[in-house]
């Protein structure tokens, strides 16, 4: 038995090395004796190695192998002794053959040493030891990870954070909520099989993992772990600090080495949890045995507690509890609102809402157009059947958090949001209605033109959509997709039916998949409902029809827009005649009012009926319609270009 005991693995390793040399009839170099290790190895180094071995889960032989490798780095004469034993095969570095001789001197069978050094063994799975490819395994040099040497020395000069971009996440406070989900994750981690990968999906995966582990979480970007040193830094730091290792960004790995890197990461020890943010991350996992843990957004009660905790109990917390922000975003919004408040003044609900809205929608600005919030419902003119459909969308937006706690939501929505289709000719108010609905619910609306997003390059559309939904996930924003018939048109209506169309169908299927897993409101708009594939219509929760306005609706539109422009002295019979005679949409009526105001300003007079007729004629020409005397009556001959119109 070694005289130093299990608490002195480094001194034990030096003694066993000398025994191995003696058994081979070899003389040790000066300085390799355990009694001469004191300047390099003391109780602190021994204790750090014992701690590391315990947290990595090493057995007695694995600890002895690691101790020998550490000694080679800490004490140069030990490296010289190993070189003598290995007959100089790898210089001062140990080789599998040399370690087998050392293990045999301590009573271990050579096969046990080879198993400890196998690629699936803990020493190499953690990255603590690496064996570069060589012609013969037995003569390959064994390389100690920098993180191990740093840990045993107690060095802080080479913090792994700088090498592997590690982020430490401490357990959140009780205000984080989601206690049941954190307990479920904790149970999964304790009971999972060796070949099972736990995947946590959502914007707050790092916080949930930290809540499920007493020591918190350690998060790394997959690309920084692609080399052996980065993975070793990650695994060893997690083990030493007692943190749960979490990997994000698997989908961003280069395609040419993705499979090998993912396999290496997922089989590391301790086995990391995967943070899944988008479709690319899920696809990379392939045929892995996966258990997914989705993170629900905070309910209103949990959000209220989080806002109160972050603000110190302000009464304004109740005004923003309905906004869907993460735990970290709530705290950041409070810091922003507090920075903008006067010193000594309480934070107002308005300041919190402003900060929360800005933080919630960041990241979407570069991917979609932010639409201005519209007027109120009572300020716009819509057909009765349009209003009925919009009431359903409006109710979902305003009551989303309350609905989430009802059995009907779990049964019929199953964790997804609401999909609405706005259908009608151009200018009938589809975009305006989306702005109003979002604004009434205190949400931003982001417009995405599917005709520009559509691509026949394989995978390009999917990448754009993945970025979009990843940015929108967990926010309070409404996604408004224009030109939906470009993607959801009837199959066979466009294209040659060949490979390009098949790729387009893949993009359509992917968009459907992302819409159905998006826990928010998606509004799709089309000018041509008849062009939309009936198969897609079955996925729509609410269809809102925007018909061309009838005469009565047109009169309301003209009256409202003229009043809004300060034009209140036109003869009522003229306005009624215009509404009856000219079949224009709300968008076209707006254009006419704007043009009439411009004409009047240029001529230095108030808007008159003739100016309005000129504006209508201009809009007719833009729409490709004829400017006929039968429509314009006595005003026709006064219009610019009337002779041309007669001709």
Strand order in the sheet with 273-276: 167-169, 217-221, 244-248, 273-276, 196-201, 289-294
**pLDDT reported for residue 313:** 77
Q: Is residue 366 part of a domain?
A: no
Residues 408, 538: one domain? Answer: yes
> Beta partners for 274?
199, 247
Is residue 364 situated within a structural domain?
Answer: no
pLDDT: is 163 or 179 the higher one? Answer: 179
- Average pLDDT taken over every residue of the chain: 82
Rounded CA gap, 248 and 222, in Å?
A: 6
Q: Which residue has the tokens 């271990």?
A: 108
Query: Looking at 259, 294, 329, which one is the last position of a domain?
Result: 294
- Judge whether 4 lies within some domain: no
- Per-residue pLDDT, 32: 54
In contact, 533 and 487? CB cutoff 8 Å? no
Looking at the fold, whether 512 and 538 belong to one and the same domain comes out as yes
CA separation for the pair 200, 590 (Å, rounded)? 49
Span 120-132, average pLDDT: 85
Q: Is the pLDDT of residue 282 over 90?
A: no
pLDDT attached to residue 578: 94
Same domain, 35 and 61: yes
Q: Would you call 20 exposed, middle or buried from its count of C-beta atoms within 10 A (0-12, 13-18, 19+)?
A: buried
Residue 141's SS3 state is coil
Together in a domain, 205 and 252:
yes
Give residue 159's pLDDT.
Answer: 44
What is residue 67's predicted lDDT score, i.e. its pLDDT? 93
Does residue 160 register a pLDDT over 60?
no
User: Which pLDDT does position 580 carry in this prediction?
Assistant: 94
Least confident interval from 32-46, 546-560, 606-620, 631-645: 32-46
Supply the pLDDT for residue 401: 65
**Is the distance from CB of 311 to CB of 317 less than 8 angstroms?**
yes
Q: Kindly tell me if the per-residue pLDDT of 257 is higher than 70.
A: yes
Does 123 reside within a domain?
A: yes
Residue that wins the pLDDT comparison between 325 and 13: 13
| Range of weakest confidence among 175-184, 532-541, 582-591, 631-640 | 532-541
Q: What is the pLDDT of residue 405?
A: 63
Q: Is the pLDDT of residue 87 over 70?
A: yes
Q: Are residues 130 and 258 in the same domain?
A: no
Average the pLDDT over 140-154 and give the result: 87
Can you name the residues that pair with 276 across neighbouring β-strands? 201
Residues 526 and 641 in one domain: no
Q: Which residue has the higher pLDDT, 599 or 77?
A: 599
In the Cβ-directed half-sphere of 393, how many Cα atoms lie within 13 Å?
A: 32
Domain containing residue 262: CATH number: 3.40.50
Q: When comparing pLDDT for 65 and 136, which is higher? A: 65
Here the CATH number for the domain that contains residue 497 is 3.40.50.300
Q: Is residue 299 part of a domain?
A: no
In a domain, 302, yes or no: no
Residue 340 to residue 326: CA distance in whole angstroms: 21
83: containing domain? 9-153
d(CA 198, CA 196): 6
pLDDT digits (tens, 9 = 90+) for 561-578: 999 899 988 999 999 999
Question: Does residue 242 sit in the same domain as residue 353?
Answer: no
Q: Is the pLDDT of residue 589 over 90?
A: yes
Instruction: Calculate mean pLDDT across residues 280-285.
Output: 70
Whether residue 165 sits in one domain with residue 19 = no
Instruction: Kindly give, in sequence order, each residue whose CB lies less than 8 Å from that of residue 30, ignoring residues fewer than 6 positions away.
Output: 77
**Domain finish residue from 510, 545, 580:** 545
**pLDDT-derived band of residue 534, with 50, 70 and 90 as boundaries?**
confident
Q: What is the mean pLDDT of residues 622-631?
A: 90
Distance CA 109, CA 352 (A): 67
Q: Could you say which of 523, 545, 567 is where a domain stops? A: 545
Report percent pLDDT > 70 for the chain. Answer: 85
Say whether pLDDT at 640 is over 70: yes
Same domain, 498 and 523: yes
Name the H helices within 128-178.
146-153, 161-164
* pLDDT at site 491: 52
Task: Answer yes or no: do 523 and 635 share one domain.
Answer: no
Of 202, 277, 268, 281, residue with least CA distance to 235: 268
* Cβ-based neighbours of 456, under 8 Å, separated by 6 or more: 500, 503, 504
Pick the closest to residue 232 from 210, 265, 205 (CA basis): 265
Give domain status of residue 2, yes or no.
no
Task: Looking at the structure, tell me whether residues 256 and 354 fall in a common domain.
Answer: no
The mean pLDDT of 369-392, rounded to a whole number, is 85
Q: How many domains does the chain have?
A: 5
Of the ranges 271-280, 587-596, 630-639, the best mean pLDDT one: 587-596
pLDDT at position 102: 93
* pLDDT of 325 over the 50 cut: yes
Residue 394: predicted pLDDT: 87
Task: Identify whether the C-beta of residue 94 lies closer than 8 Å to the C-beta of residue 140.
Answer: no
For residues 118-138, average pLDDT = 80
pLDDT value, residue 2: 39
pTM (2 decimals)? 0.62
- Element holding 369 (H helix, E strand): strand 369-371
Kindly calculate the radius of gyration of the chain based on its CA atoms and give it in whole angstroms: 35
Based on the fold, state whether residues 541 and 565 are members of the same structural domain. no
Average pLDDT over residues 294-300: 81
In a domain, 372, yes or no: no
User: What does the block give as tokens for 434?
Assistant: 């989306």
Q: What is the mean pLDDT of residues 185-192?
A: 87
Instruction: For residue 477, name the pLDDT band (cuts at 50, 70, 90).
Output: confident
- pLDDT value, residue 469: 82
Of 129, 244, 263, which is closest to residue 185 (Cα–Cα)?
244
């Amino acid at each position: 038995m070694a005289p130093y005991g299990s608490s002195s693995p480094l001194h034990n390793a030096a003694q066993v090395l000398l025994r191995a040399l003696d058994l081979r009839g070899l003389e040790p170099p000066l300085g390799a004796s355990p009694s001469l290790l004191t300047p390099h190895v003391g109780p602190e180094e021994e204790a750090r190695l014992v701690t590391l071995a315990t947290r990595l889960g090493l057995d007695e032989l694995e600890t002895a192998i690691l101790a020998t490798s550490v000694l080679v780095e800490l004490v140069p004469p030990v490296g010289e002794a190993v070189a003598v034993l290995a007959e100089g095969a790898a210089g001062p570095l140990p080789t599998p053959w040399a370690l087998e001789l050392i293990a045999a001197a301590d009573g271990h069978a050579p096969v046990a040493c080879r198993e400890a050094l196998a690629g699936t063994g803990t020493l190499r799975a953690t990255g603590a030891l690496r064996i570069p490819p060589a012609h013969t395994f037995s003569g390959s040099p064994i390389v100690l990870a920098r993180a191990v040497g740093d840990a045993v020395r107690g060095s802080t000069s080479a913090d792994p954070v700088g090498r592997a971009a590690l982020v430490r996440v401490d357990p959140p406070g009780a205000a984080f909520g989601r206690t049941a989900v954190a307990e479920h994750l904790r149970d999964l981690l304790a009971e999972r099989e060796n070949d099972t990968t736990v995947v946590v999906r959502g914007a707050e995966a790092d916080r949930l993992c930290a809540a499920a582990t007493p020591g918190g979480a350690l998060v790394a970007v997959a690309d920084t772990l692609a080399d052996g040193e980065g993975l070793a830094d990650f695994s060893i730091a997690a083990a030493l600090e007692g943190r749960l290792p979490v990997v994000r960004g698997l989908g961003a790995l280069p395609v040419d080495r993705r499979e090998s890197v993912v396999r290496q990461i997922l089989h590391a020890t301790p086995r990391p949890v995967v943070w899944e943010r988008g479709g690319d991350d899920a696809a990379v996992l392939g045929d892995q045995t996966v258990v997914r843990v989705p993170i629900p957004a905070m309910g209103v009660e949990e959000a209220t507690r989080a806002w109160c905790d972050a603000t110190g109990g302000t009464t304004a917390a109740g005004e923003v509890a309905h906004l869907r922000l993460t735990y970290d975003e709530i705290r950041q919004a409070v810091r922003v609102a507090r920075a903008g408040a006067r010193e000594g003044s309480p934070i107002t609900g308005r300041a919190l809402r402003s900060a929360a809205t800005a933080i919630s929608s960041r990241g979407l600005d570069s991917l979609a157009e932010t639409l201005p919030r519209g007027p109120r419902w009572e300020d716009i003119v819509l057909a009765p059947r349009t209003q009925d459909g919009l009431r359903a969308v409006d109710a979902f937006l305003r009551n989303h958090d309350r609905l989430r706690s009802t059995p009907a939501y779990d049964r019929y929505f199953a964790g997804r949001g609401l999909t609405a289709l706005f259908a009608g000719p151009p200018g009938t108010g589809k975009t305006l209605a989306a702005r109003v609905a979002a604004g009434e619910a205190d949400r931003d609306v982001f417009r995405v033109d599917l005709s520009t997003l559509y691509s026949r390059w394989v995978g390009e559309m999917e990448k754009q959509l993945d970025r979009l939904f990843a940015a929108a996930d967990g926010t309070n924003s409404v996604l408004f997709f224009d030109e939906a018939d470009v993607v959801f048109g009837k199959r066979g209506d466009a294209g040659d039916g060949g490979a390009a169309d098949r790729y387009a169908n893949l993009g359509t299927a992917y968009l459907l998949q992302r819409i159905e897993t998006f826990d928010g409101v998606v509004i799709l708009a089309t000018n041509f409902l008849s062009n939309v594939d009936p198969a897609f219509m079955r996925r729509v929760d609410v269809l809102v029809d925007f018909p061309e306005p009838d005469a009565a609706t047109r009169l309301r539109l003209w009256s409202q827009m003229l009043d809004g422009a300060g034009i209140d002295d036109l003869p009522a019979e003229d306005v009624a005649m215009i509404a009856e005679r000219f079949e224009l949409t709300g968008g076209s009526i707006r254009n006419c009012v704007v043009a009439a105001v411009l004409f009047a300003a240029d001529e230095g007079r108030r808007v008159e009926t003739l100016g309005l007729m000129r504006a209508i004629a201009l809009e007719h020409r833009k729409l490709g319609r004829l400017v006929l005397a039968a429509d314009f009556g006595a005003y026709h001959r006064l219009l610019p270009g009337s002779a041309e119109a007669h001709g």
